[in-house]
Structures are given as C-alpha cells and as structure tokens.
C-alpha cells in the first residue's frame, strides 16, 4: 500500500469515526433532553414545577441549542459521507462556517461552574432530587447521572480535536484541503483554550466567594469588595510569625494570597458545619509589598512600603 493509499484510507476512517461518535453524542443528548429537560420544562409554571424558569435557562438553555445543532449536523455528515467517503474538507468546513455551535459551547462553559453549583443546591430540594433519581434509574441512562450528561459537550469537543489532529499528522498534498483542516482544528483548539480559561476563572471566583464566607471580622468595605470580577485566588496556607529581634515564634497565622491582595487571618475553631473559620487581622495590597530574601536564614519575609492597612 502506497503512502497516498494510506492517506485515503485514513480519510475514510476519519469520516466513519466522526459519524459514529457524533451519532453516539446525539443519542446521549437526546436521552438528556427526553428524560430530564422536557419533563422539567413542561412542569414550569404548574403545580408540578420542579425548578424555576430562571434555573431551567441557566442549566439547560445552551444544551438545547447544542442538541439542535448536532442533530442537524449528524444528518449533514451522513449526506457528505454518502456522496464521497473521502471528502474530509466538506466535513471540516461544517466546523468553520457555522459559528452558532461555537457560541453555544462558549456560553455553556462560561457558566458551567455556576451550573454545577446550582445543581448541588437543587439536589437539596427533595422534589428535584426525587425526580432526578427516578430519571437516572431509566435504562437509557446507562448508569450515568445528570452531571455526567451535562459534561458530555466538553468530552465531545476534546474528542473532535483529537480526530482532526490525527489528520493534521498526515501529509495531505491538496493545499486547499489541508488549509480547511487546519482552520477547523484551530477553531476547536481555540474553543478548548477558551473553555479552560473560563473554567479556571470560574473556579477561582467560586474559591474567593468560599473564602469570604469563612472569614469573620472583615471591615465593611472589605466585606463588600472581597469578591471582585478581577480578583483571582492564588494560594493559601499557615505561617508562623516571628519576632525579627528576638527570633521567637509568635501567633500562628493563616494567609490567603490573591492576584492583587494578601489577606492575613488567624485560625479559629471549627463550626458545627465542620468548616474552619478565620479571624481577619490585616490585608495588604500586593503593590505595597516587597519580598526580601534573608540570606542568613534563607527565609522569605514581607516588607511593607507604606505600612499596614487594617
């Protein structure tokens, strides 16, 4: 078998894999729609309401858009493959000319952390939990839970990128065909990078909110402003404050480091919820802090330029 024959065979395999996995993806989204989304939507505004309209839109609105797109996409892929099973350029072009699916994915994963957080709270509602458990017991779910279904879009985009990447490794002579494949791969790669960035930002934002709930004694202005759109959590941990003159250990402290702020607290006893609380002591903008290396003891110490802010 010549190199060109191998390339043509890989094109066929690519088409078969795209269609097979797309069919499986659509089937799973259809299960999600028919067992969860449709019954929940139908009950909104009635005595049987399971969740509110705003909660429904947050969790499922983008999934519905994705289901519609991929259901139509599957039919298009079948038609392309039927006409020419080696026409990878036409397959790739679908992922270039239609921006609706990219916008829907970006929107969905832009709020995915909020969706999972909302679901966690909704599961405390007995009516919602009972409905979800009953639906998950259906044979069509194949032991997947609701959160598994909601994670399918990320798995699909990741797998699509892998499939296109496999074609990128082939030495396709047709420059036009190669260019289209590269553009489709670039779209998928850009989308995944954006998803990863949004995921990191959301996780950090949720962490800042979590920290704000653990700290007592924050100044009023600080209590209002700790959770800011630009603020990102970096690191937290215990430290021991030392007297620089006597070299004696002082009170154990607990620090929270953000991208623009260092928060100094003191650990308190655990609450009934088993969540450790912290007493606010000081906060220092990072723009006011210098790190001084103590060469004799190899310990880092923070030196304020403009004094403490309490």
What is the side-by-side order of every strand in the sheet holding 276-285?
215-216, 276-285, 261-270, 249-258, 233-242
Whichever domain contains 284, its CATH number is 2.30.29.30
Angle CA 222–227–232, to nearest 5: 115
The pLDDT assigned to 20 comes to 94
Does residue 197 share a domain with residue 224? Answer: no
Does residue 32 share a domain with residue 104? Answer: yes
Buried-exposed string 243-277: b where 16+ CB fall within 10 A, e elsewhere: eeeeeeeeeebbbbebeebbbbbeeeeeeeeeeeb
In a domain, 181, yes or no: yes
Does residue 294 share a domain with residue 229? Answer: yes
**Does residue 93 sit in helix, strand or coil?**
helix
In a domain, 272, yes or no: yes
Task: Show which of 179, 210, 241 is a domain's final residue.
Answer: 210
Does residue 152 share a domain with residue 275? Answer: no
Of 29, 59, 27, 35, the closest CA to residue 137 belongs to 35
In a domain, 309, yes or no: no
Q: Each residue of 28-58: pLDDT tens digit?
A: 999 999 999 999 999 999 999 999 999 999 9
pLDDT of 6 strictly over 50 = yes
Q: Each residue of 154-193: pLDDT tens digit?
A: 899 999 999 888 887 777 777 888 888 888 888 888 888 8
The pTM for the full model equals: 0.70
Domain that holds residue 257: 220-304
């Amino acid at each position: 078998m010549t190199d060109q024959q191998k390339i043509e065979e890989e094109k066929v395999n690519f088409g078969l894999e795209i269609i097979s996995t797309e069919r499986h993806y659509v089937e799973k989204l259809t299960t999600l729609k028919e067992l969860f989304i449709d019954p929940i939507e139908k009950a909104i505004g009635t005595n049987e309401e399971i969740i509110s309209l705003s909660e429904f839109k947050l969790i499922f609105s983008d999934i519905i858009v994705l289901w519609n797109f991929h259901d139509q996409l599957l039919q298009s892929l079948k038609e392309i493959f039927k006409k020419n099973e080696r026409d990878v350029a036409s397959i790739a072009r679908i992922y270039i000319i239609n921006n609706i699916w990219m916008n829907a994915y970006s929107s969905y994963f832009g709020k995915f952390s909020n969706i999972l957080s909302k679901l966690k709270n909704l599961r405390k509602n007995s009516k919602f939990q009972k409905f979800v458990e009953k639906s998950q017991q259906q044979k069509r779910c194949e032991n997947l839970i609701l959160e598994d279904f909601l994670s399918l879009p990320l798995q699909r985009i990741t797998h699509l990128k892998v499939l296109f990447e496999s074609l990128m490794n082939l030495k396709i002579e047709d420059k036009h065909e190669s260019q289209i494949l590269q553009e489709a791969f670039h779209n998928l790669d850009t989308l995944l990078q954006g998803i990863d960035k949004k995921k990191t930002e959301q996780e950090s934002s949720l962490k800042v909110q979590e920290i704000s709930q653990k700290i007592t004694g924050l100044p009023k202005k600080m209590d209002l402003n700790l959770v800011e759109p630009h603020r990102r959590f970096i690191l937290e941990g215990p430290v021991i404050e030392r007297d620089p003159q006597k070299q004696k250990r002082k009170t154990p402290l607990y620090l929270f480091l953000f991208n623009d702020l260092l928060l100094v607290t003191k650990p308190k006893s655990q609450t009934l919820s088993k969540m450790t609380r912290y007493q606010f002591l000081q906060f220092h903008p990072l723009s006011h802090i210098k790190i001084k290396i103590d060469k004799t003891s190899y310990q880092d110490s923070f030196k304020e330029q403009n004094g403490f802010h309490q």
